[in-house]
Amino acid sequence: MEKNIVHQNVELKSFNSWRVGGKAEQFLICDNIAKLALHIKSKKIKPPITYIGLGSNLLIRDGGVKGTIIVMHGGLNKINRDGKLLYAEAGVSCSKLSRFAAKEGFDESAFFAGIPGTIGGALAMNAGCYGSETWEYVKKVLMIDLNGDQIIRNKSNFKIDYREVNNKDESFLGAWFQFPNGNKEDAKNKIKELLSHRKKTQPLNWPTAGSTFRNPKDNFAAKIIEDCGLKGFQIGGAQVSKKHANFIVNLGNASALDIEKVIDHIQQVVLKKKNITLQTEIKIIGEKFGS
């Protein structure tokens, strides 16, 4: 599909890791920030605007998405060293940043290899795993606002919480990261070890969106769900993974509604049995059929 062109009524199943959902009213793959800004300023892009990367932390409903979907992955993929910092555009995969940082002799980037998304998404939700989070290493970011204006902001401009970042009406175009110096081979080995552990513990052979729920304080969503006997629970083609209970897999024919029903069922059962309100880590967008 041609980049930097606004397309109409584009099927979104190919643009999210659950492989479900309806169509985008308008759709654009961005690989040029200046052209994106111009599209916004000239009002060629219909609001609301939704930016996505690999769509790996996203449930797109079957009725599709109003306004415009802008895809960063496949376009904004610039990554380079900037003095003592690393700069990565929003479309760069987290695993690519991890490998690049290791190659440059930096330490503590391995956890990024375990995040199945892009830098833009990781910044927006303070993604993390294995005890580390994105914003621990962010120095400053490049934003774009609803008028198409670009702004560089420091970390201190944001309120950052667990899986949550207050970014007002601005969206992430890129970020400068600061990692401690390390040993190249040690950094590469840490990535290999993490990926091996991930392969053993997560259902990577099925379409999923990563962890579905946030971990409650001092607890793990996967353990709570498993303790409630929900591993393997299924509605339509959507199933609670038998390998990792915080993953919902698409067995091949799931609809977004199937997945959303499984999410709702998990929340209801956990609340009833454990008196715990599980909050989703994934973002749900779009319209239900008939709405």
Residues annotated as part of the active site: 163, 211, 281
Burial class (CB in 10 A: 0-12, 13-18, 19+), 272: exposed
Q: How many CB atoms lie within 10 A of CB 171?
A: 20
DSSP 97-137: HHHHHHHTTB-S-GGGGG--SBHHHHHHHT-EETTEEGGGS
Alpha helices (runs of H) in 126-279, residue ranges in sequence order: 184-201, 221-227, 256-274
Residue type, 261: K
Tell me how far CA of residue 187 lies from CA of 13, 180, 211, in angstroms.
35, 11, 25
Are 106 and 182 in contact, with CB atoms under 8 Å apart?
yes
Between the alpha carbon of residue 121 and those of residues 62, 67, 116, 241, 267, the distances in Å are: 22, 19, 10, 23, 24
Distance CA 237, CA 181 (A): 46
Cβ proximity of 89 and 76 under 8 Å: yes
Determine which helix (DSSP H) or strand (DSSP E) holds 105, and give its type and residue range.
none
Residue type at 92? V
Bridge-based pairing state of the strands 23-29 and 65-71: parallel
Query: Are 72 and 51 a contacting pair, CB within 8 Å?
Result: yes
Any idea which residue has 């607890």 for tokens?
A: 219
